[in-house]
């Protein structure tokens, strides 16, 4: 026995009847000293040896060496009284030394001495085990004495002795027996360390020595509460709420999860997993305790499995309306840093991490062997698949593998040599693509050359992988304006962020961009060398007092929408440009009356000589700098690439003196809308930009801001591109369709000895008990990210996979390929902001419920299918029947979606 009771029963021997069969003294000496059962035999781990008081043993040696059985040296009964502290508890004295205070005898020799001489009345035998510590065999004279207490009664310790080779599980069983804990109750142990804090004894399979337990340490046994919580995990602030929850009795499993701050993704994944019947039963019935793997280097030391088990037990206790998954969230963040903090994440990504973590924490394979992956090499599929599955199970064997893992066949064909590679790989879930539309809806504003027409908002359907020219062609159908007379620009913060070329890809335009398409003169779109018109980008600026103490200079702030204006080359002068712009702005700029004219016309003849330079000519005459100038606060955004529309000298050669007119002045600027000359020196042939500068009073008097911002909606804006719903079976077909590998992910052909863009095809070979289907709604490209809100029609029951499984099928058991829906993880919203919820079917009641964080409400089956469905959980019908209790005599009505009518004739697909 490894555990030694504090008060062992007294063992008494009656010496008189035994002494009649006492052998001769020499025979006694040889039997006790020598031989296989004698004192000199080697120690063997696990054997029992006994302590005998040294003085009695010496007396016995003298007696047997004298050779006279009637001698006065007869030792009498074995008396170990000198070895005990007292004769009540019979505790061994501390500091006893072998050879001085006692001798050690093997069990056979001890029993012989007791049969010959007897044991002092009332004394217990002092039995000790031989243990192996660090390769050395020794008799453990002093076992480890532990003080066992209950968490609910820390003041009443019970002393128990354990060998250093005893397991912690024996300590736990001893505590349960001592405190009369029923077999149904779950318990765990804590130990008080030298610093006074408590540590969990998680791994009950290690020894007392490995756990570093010392004599006198306090070991606390904690019993799980009825509501599934551990008393030590409950803060004092929620004790009252916990008592109220204990009084509450609801349907097990109908329990919400509190949102800790953007943790709806975690709550959704947990609710789905919690409603997988066989996995939940595995935790509720404590089968996981026997399979916790604390030494797996790929695992989380059992902590993820224990944290998830705590959540399941609380949710299915029936004593909670909702629970706070704070401990679980902390554990996940500890082992997966991407989930630290309170950012929004993907429920499928957390689900993938959780399934992998649970698998490694519960892996029955304690030491993974090396397994070499083998190609088919022409062998039959059945043989290769069986070998692949056996190899997988040699390294991975857990409840997660039993429940969620399947097998698919991967076929790769080299395009050069035709080499075919066939492998069988396990999967935990299917990530199926959605049929993607090749069309895209884009909203643009069309700005006509006719100043009387307001900008028009258009909704255009264009090819998703099209070019800017396709956008112009689509707009031409609505406006009647030729695509050659259009220029496309991205407007941001009152300036041109980018002016696009016709051959650029539409993928560079994001849905949130403000795209303006300007009508320009057809003569300006032929080629640069033969254009008769120049297209000038025009900005609007207002002169405002600078934030300076003495207001000694002014700043310029951009406002309104910029323009692209066609200007004939023969009218490239400031005066002509002024009148052209005045005409283009005439819808929202009022012309001054004759009474408002000043003496500007008197200077007209002189100022007209300051013309905008024509192509190939330098501007003549002297110019004066208009004085200090600074950009407005919104001018810091750098412009995109610009489309040069003229080969005339750059703005650095332009006359810098802008003529003062009645309403506004004109100024050459860079693409940011500022007059920073340092930018011009980089490229003297850069696109000329013109700014219309307004004085505040003139702008207030002649510029109608309301009219300037006005626009009309074309009839096409009311059109909605209808997305036809797709069937789940179509997504699975797309998953199994042959595809060519991308350049970023080539395959190394062992025959060609080089990487190839091979063709790849996936086929389903073996399906799991619970099939997780991930709908790939999120699309990421170099330029864009989008969510596909296509409605996927999925069956609630009888999803048939027989047409997708290529393994030879058992026709007598069709339920092996039919699945019923048990849970759905939903995602509402877009990429940057969204919300996750869950539909799940309760395994006990068969009723569907909607889980929205801490809120839970019943729903009907016709509410489950929606565009928000993201991850689907299906259970195989034969598994559902196996888990169902036996029905009564009468057949039940139509079964709920999460279960099927029981049938004793089922066959597992494995």
Task: Answer yes or no: is pLDDT of 11 > 60.
Answer: no
Which of 62-66, 239-243, 612-616 has the lowest average pLDDT?
612-616
CA–CA separation, 174 and 162 (whole Å): 10
Task: Answer yes or no: is pLDDT of 904 > 50.
Answer: no
CA–CA separation, 575 and 523 (whole Å): 22
pLDDT value at position 68? 80
Q: Give the pairing of strands 770-776 and 430-433.
A: parallel
Asked whether the beta carbons of 536 and 470 are under 8 A apart, the reply is no
Within 10 A of 630 (CB to CB), how many other CB atoms are there? 15
Task: Answer yes or no: is pLDDT of 272 > 90.
Answer: yes
Q: Which residue has the higher pLDDT, 572 or 704?
A: 704
Tokens 């996940």 belong to which residue?
A: 332
With bands split at pLDDT 50, 70 and 90, how would you rate the model's confidence at 629?
very low
Which of 8-12, 90-94, 540-544 has the lowest average pLDDT?
8-12
Per DSSP, 861 falls in state: G
Range 826-846 average pLDDT: 90
CA–CA separation, 743 and 480 (whole Å): 42
pLDDT tens by residue, 415-457: 888 888 888 999 999 999 988 778 888 999 999 999 999 999 9
With bands split at pLDDT 50, 70 and 90, how would you rate the model's confidence at 587?
very high
pLDDT tens by residue, 662-699: 689 988 999 888 876 444 444 445 568 999 999 998 99
With bands split at pLDDT 50, 70 and 90, how would you rate the model's confidence at 821?
very high
With bands split at pLDDT 50, 70 and 90, how would you rate the model's confidence at 645?
very low
Range 341-356 average pLDDT: 93
Alpha helices by DSSP H, listed for 622-695, are 677-680
Asked whether the beta carbons of 12 and 116 are under 8 A apart, the reply is no
Which of 195-204, 244-253, 348-357, 833-842 has the lowest average pLDDT?
244-253
CA–CA separation, 499 and 643 (whole Å): 6
Q: Which residues contact 434 (CB under 8 A, 6 or more apart)?
A: 726, 731, 734, 775, 776, 777, 788, 790, 792
CA–CA separation, 534 and 60 (whole Å): 127
Averaged confidence pLDDT in the chain? 81
Q: At what angle do helices 326-335 and 347-361 cross, to 10 degrees?
A: 80
With bands split at pLDDT 50, 70 and 90, how would you rate the model's confidence at 12?
very low
Sign of CA dihedral 222, 226, 232, 233: positive
Sign of CA dihedral 243, 244, 247, 251: negative
Burial level of 479, CB count in 10 A (0-12/13-18/19+)? middle
Spatial strand order of the sheet with 456-463 comes to: 495-499, 486-492, 515-519, 439-447, 456-463, 712-713
With bands split at pLDDT 50, 70 and 90, how would you rate the model's confidence at 864?
very high
Within 10 A of 264 (CB to CB), how many other CB atoms are there? 24
- CA angle 280/286/290 to nearest 5° reads 120
List, by residue number, the catalytic residues: 264, 835
Burial level of 742, CB count in 10 A (0-12/13-18/19+)? exposed
With bands split at pLDDT 50, 70 and 90, how would you rate the model's confidence at 66?
confident
pLDDT value at position 650? 39
CA–CA separation, 789 and 361 (whole Å): 36
279, 314, 674 from 284: Cα distances, Å: 9, 10, 70
With bands split at pLDDT 50, 70 and 90, how would you rate the model's confidence at 753?
confident
SS3 of residue 853 by DSSP: coil
pLDDT tens by residue, 593-607: 755 544 444 333 333
CA–CA separation, 889 and 175 (whole Å): 46
Asked whether the beta carbons of 875 and 895 are under 8 A apart, the reply is no
């Amino acid at each position: 026995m490894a555990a030694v009771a504090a008060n062992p029963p007294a063992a008494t021997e009656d010496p008189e009847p035994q002494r009649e069969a006492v052998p001769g003294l020499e025979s006694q000496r040889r039997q006790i000293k020598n031989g296989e059962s004698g004192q000199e035999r080697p120690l063997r781990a696990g054997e029992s040896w006994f302590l005998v008081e040294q003085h009695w043993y010496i007396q016995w040696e003298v007696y047997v060496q004298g050779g006279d059985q009637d001698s006065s040296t007869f030792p009498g009964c074995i008396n170990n009284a000198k070895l005990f502290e007292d004769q009540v508890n019979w505790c061994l004295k501390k500091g006893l030394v072998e050879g001085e205070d006692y001798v050690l005898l093997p069990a056979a020799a001890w029993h012989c001495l007791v049969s010959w001489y007897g044991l002092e009345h009332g004394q217990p035998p002092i039995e000790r085990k031989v243990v192996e510590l660090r390769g050395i065999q020794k008799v453990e004279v002093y076992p480890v004495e532990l003080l066992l207490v209950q968490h609910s009664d820390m003041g009443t310790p019970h002393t128990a002795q354990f060998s250093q080779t005893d397991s912690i599980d024996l300590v736990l069983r001893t505590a349960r027996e001592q405190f009369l804990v029923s077999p149904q109750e779950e318990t765990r142990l804590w130990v008080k360390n030298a610093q006074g804090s408590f540590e969990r004894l998680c791994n009950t399979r290690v020894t007392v020595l490995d756990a570093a337990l010392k004599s006198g340490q306090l070991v606390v046994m904690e019993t799980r509460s009825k509501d599934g919580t551990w008393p030590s995990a409950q803060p004092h602030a929620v004790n009252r709420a916990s008592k109220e929850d204990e009084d509450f009795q609801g349907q097990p499993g109908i329990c919400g999860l509190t949102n800790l701050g953007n943790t709806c993704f975690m709550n959704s994944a947990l609710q789905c997993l919690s409603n997988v019947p066989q996995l939940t039963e595995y935790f509720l019935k404590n089968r996981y305790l026997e399979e916790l793997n604390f030494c797996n280097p790929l695992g989380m030391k059992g902590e993820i499995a224990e944290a998830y088990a705590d959540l399941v037990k609380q949710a299915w206790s029936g004593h909670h309306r909702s629970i706070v998954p704070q401990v679980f969230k902390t554990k996940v963040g500890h082992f997966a840093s991407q989930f630290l903090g309170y950012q929004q994440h993907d429920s499928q990504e957390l689900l993938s991490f959780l399934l992998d973590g649970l698998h490694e924490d519960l892996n029955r394979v304690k030491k993974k062997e090396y397994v070499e992956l083998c190609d088919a090499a022409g062998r039959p599929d059945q043989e290769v698949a069986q070998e692949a599955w056996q190899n997988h199970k040699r390294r991975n064997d857990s409840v997660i593998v039993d429940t969620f893992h399947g097998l698919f066949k991967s076929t790769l064909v080299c395009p050069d040599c035709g080499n075919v590679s066939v492998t069988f790989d396990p999967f935990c879930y299917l990530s199926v693509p959605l049929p993607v539309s090749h069309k895209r809806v884009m909203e643009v504003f069309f700005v006509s050359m006719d100043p009387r027409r307001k900008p028009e908002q258009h909704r255009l359907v264009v090819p998703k992988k099209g070019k800017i020219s396709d956008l112009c062609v689509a707009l031409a159908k609505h406006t009647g304006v030729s695509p050659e007379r259009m220029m496309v620009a991205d407007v941001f913060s009152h300036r041109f962020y980018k002016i696009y070329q016709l051959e650029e890809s539409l993928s560079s335009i994001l849905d949130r961009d403000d795209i303006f398409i300007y009508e320009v003169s057809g003569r300006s779109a032929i080629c640069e060398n033969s254009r008769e018109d120049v297209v000038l980008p025009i900005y609007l600026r207002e002169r405002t007092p600078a934030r300076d103490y003495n207001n000694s200079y002014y700043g310029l702030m951009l406002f309104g929408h910029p323009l692209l204006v066609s200007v004939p080359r023969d009218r490239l002068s400031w005066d002509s440009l002024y009148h052209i712009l005045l005409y283009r702005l005439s819808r929202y700029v009022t012309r001054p009356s004759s009474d408002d004219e000043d003496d500007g016309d008197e200077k007209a003849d002189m100022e007209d000589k300051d013309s905008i330079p024509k192509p190939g000519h330098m501007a003549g005459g002297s110019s004066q700098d208009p004085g200090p100038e600074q950009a407005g606060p919104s001018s810091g955004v750098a412009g995109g690439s610009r489309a040069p529309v003229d080969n005339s000298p750059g703005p650095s050669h332009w006359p810098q003196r802008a003529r003062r007119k009645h309403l506004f002045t004109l100024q050459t600027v860079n693409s940011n809308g500022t007059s920073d000359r340092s930018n011009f020196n980089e490229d003297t042939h850069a696109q000329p930009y013109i700014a219309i500068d307004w004085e505040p009073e003139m702008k207030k008097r002649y510029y109608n801001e309301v009219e300037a911002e006005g626009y009309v909606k074309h009839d096409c804006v009311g059109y909605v591109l209808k997305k036809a719903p797709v069937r789940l079976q179509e997504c699975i077909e797309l998953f199994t369709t042959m595809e060519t590998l991308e350049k970023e992910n080539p395959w190394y052909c062992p025959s060609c000895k080089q990487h190839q863009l091979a063709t790849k095809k996936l086929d389903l070979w073996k399906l799991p008990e619970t099939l997780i289907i991930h709908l790939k709604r999120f699309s990421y490209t170099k330029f864009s990210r989008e969510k596909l809100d296509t409605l996927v029609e999925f069956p609630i029951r009888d999803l048939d996979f027989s047409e997708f499984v290529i393994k030879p099928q058992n026709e007598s058991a069709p339920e092996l390929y039919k699945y019923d829906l048990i849970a759905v993880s939903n995602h509402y919203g877009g990429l940057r902001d969204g919300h996750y919820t869950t539909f799940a079917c309760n395994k006990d009641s068969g009723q569907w419920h909607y889980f929205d964080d801490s809120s839970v409400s019943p729903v009907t089956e016709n509410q489950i299918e929606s565009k928000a469905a993201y991850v689907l959980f299906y259970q195989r019908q034969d598994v559902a029947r196996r888990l169902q209790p036996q029905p009564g005599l009468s057949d039940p009505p139509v079964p709920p979606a999460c279960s099927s009518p029981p049938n004793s004739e089922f066959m597992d697909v494995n």
